[in-house]
């Protein structure tokens, strides 16, 4: 059985506990100032490496990629920050792709048809954390209990699901998005496509040696303890053959959307930025129930969202309301209001004038289907980050 969140789940083995993400805004800003950009490049692939764990805050728009870059560039040289900024650019690449391609990023194979698919259902070994690969099973327990997983572990899990068990990427992407505190519609679906060879030129595979190297553990003789050559044609092991059906119970918080007049600053759960203010406006955080039926989120994730809505309240938005409904209900409720919101592809159909999001890099002037093309283009244009 899958672990469920309890009041005191076991401490995570390879990641941060949920409580770490339920901090104050001041603590969060202190963490930006404590990022170790110098150790980041050589350690980021290791499960205990000096990564930032900031993605839930970036996903929910509490901080921006630009803010992270400014914070590290204030204390390190541009050269020291290169790798971290490169990774921030990956996030922007996924989001620019989402802006450009729209909802297709959530449903379609963007570059090539995913090879070798035999099922759309996830292996029970992943659903139950019984893959037999000890590090992966521990990372899955951390995910179910705390909503956190290191990037390398995500790549291993996605590779097992798509390239070893030959599962269509869509259902596993919904499953991971559900559990992650940072579940991000663009970064998640496009990363799955990238691992599965649908948004890249090559599938991603990892063997036990790779997992041992980056986890600091050792599991000789596991079913993944094979060469890369053998991995290319590895038959799906018994641990991943049985399939399970996906149950993702989700209960978005919030009262039904209320009619309003006057100035309304309409936030989504992806714009919980305390610095985005309209002094004289009513601030409403709207939860689109139809979207969240398609892309449900775990109780841990909603706890994180509610915490950060409360933080906004503490930071001067005392009357901030978390409300829910369909987009049609939202339009009716705010038909007499003067609405402003921030650009975000999942909210394109919402009413109101649109503010630009804060980006690190200016958008490329052409479609970029690969990250390398994107990064080359945006570097030519230049970033808005403040350098030391
Ligand atoms: C299968 C799979 C699913 C993923 N799903 C998500 C998701 O739902 N939400 C999400 O934010 N990221 C996702 N990622 C990307 C990456 O795993 C996370 O952004 C990263 O683990 C966040 O940890 P961190 O904040 O410590 O990152 P750091 O290494 O500290 O990097 C700083 C920031 O750079 C960005 N970043 C770093 N690596 C990547 C990357 N590979 N792709 C895109 N952005 C990156 C993130 O915004 C991250 O917060 C996924 C990756 C894979 C392989």
Start-to-end C-alpha separation, the chain: 51
**Which residues make Cβ contacts (< 8 Å) with residue 177, sequence separation at least 6?**
183, 184, 185, 188, 189, 295, 297
Regions of the chain where pLDDT drops below 50: 1-5
**pLDDT for res 319:** 87
Longest Cα pair distance anywhere in the chain, in angstroms?
Answer: 67
Q: What residue owns the CA closest to ligand 1's atom 48?
A: 55
pLDDT digits 0-9 by tens, 177-193: 999 999 999 999 999 99
Q: Is the pTM of this model over 0.95?
A: yes
Residues in the ligand 1 pocket, defined by CB under 6 Å: 44, 51-55, 58-59, 87-88, 90-91, 94, 151, 154-155, 158, 176-177, 180, 182-184, 187-188, 191-192, 195
Residue 151 Cα to ligand 1 midpoint, Å, equals 6
334, 335, 340, 342: CA torsion to nearest 10: 70
**pLDDT for res 2:** 46
Q: Which helix (H) or strand (E) holds 328?
A: helix 327-333
**pLDDT for res 1:** 43
Which two structure tokens, joined as six digits, stand for 34?
């404590």
Q: How many CA atoms lie within 13 A of 269 on its CB side?
A: 25
Helix, strand, coil distribution of the chain in percent, nearest 5:
45, 10, 45
Name the residue of 16, 143, 171, 191 whose CB sits within 8 Å of the most ligand 1 atoms, as the mutation to test its pocket. 191
**pLDDT for res 386:** 62
Q: What residue owns the CA closest to ligand 1's atom 36?
A: 87
SS3 125: helix
Cα–Cα distance, 281 to 264 (Å, whole number) = 5
User: Atom of ligand 1 at shortest distance to CA of 88?
Assistant: 34
Domain 255-355 has CATH 3.40.50.620: yes
Nearest in space to 294 (alpha carbons), one of 146, 192, 189: 189
């Amino acid at each position: 059985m899958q672990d469920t969140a309890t009041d005191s789940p076991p401490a995570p083995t390879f990641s941060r506990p949920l409580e770490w993400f339920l901090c104050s805004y001041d603590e969060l800003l202190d963490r930006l100032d404590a990022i170790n950009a110098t150790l980041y490049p050589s350690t980021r692939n290791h499960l205990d490496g000096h990564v930032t764990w900031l993605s839930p805050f970036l996903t929910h728009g509490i901080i921006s990629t630009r803010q992270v870059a400014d914070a590290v560039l204030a204390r390190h040289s541009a050269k020291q920050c290169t790798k971290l900024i490169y990774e921030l650019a990956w996030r922007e690449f996924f989001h620019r792709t989402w802006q450009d391609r729209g909802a297709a990023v959530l449903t379609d194979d963007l570059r090539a048809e995913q090879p070798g698919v035999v099922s759309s259902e996830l292996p029970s070994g992943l659903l139950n954390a019984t893959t037999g690969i000890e590090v992966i099973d521990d990372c899955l327990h951390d995910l179910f209990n705390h909503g956190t997983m290191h990037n390398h572990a995500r790549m291993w899990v996605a590779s097992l699901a798509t390239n070893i068990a030959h599962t269509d990427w869509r259902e596993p992407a919904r499953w991971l998005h559900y559990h992650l505190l940072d579940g991000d519609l663009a970064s998640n679906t496009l990363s799955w496509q990238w691992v599965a060879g649908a948004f890249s030129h090559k599938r991603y595979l990892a063997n036990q040696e790779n997992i041992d190297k980056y986890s600091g553990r050792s599991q000789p003789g596991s079913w993944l303890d094979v060469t890369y050559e053998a991995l290319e044609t590895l038959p799906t092991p018994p641990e991943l053959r049985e399939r399970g059906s996906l149950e993702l119970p989700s209960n978005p918080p919030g009262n039904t959307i209320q009619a309003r007049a006057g100035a309304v600053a309409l936030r989504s759960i992806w714009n919980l930025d305390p610095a985005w203010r309209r002094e004289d406006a009513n601030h409403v955080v709207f939860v689109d129930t139809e979207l969240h039926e398609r892309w449900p989120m775990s109780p841990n994730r909603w706890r994180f969202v509610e915490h950060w809505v409360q933080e906004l309240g503490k930071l001067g938005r005392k009357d901030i309301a978390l409300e829910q409904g369909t987009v049609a209900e939202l339009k009716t409720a705010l038909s007499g209001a003067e609405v402003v919101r921030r650009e975000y592809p999942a909210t394109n159909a919402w009413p109101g004038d649109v503010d630009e999001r804060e980006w690190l890099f200016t958008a490329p002037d052409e479609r970029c289907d690969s990250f390398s093309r994107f990064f080359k283009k945006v570097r030519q244009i230049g970033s808005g980050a403040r350098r030391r």
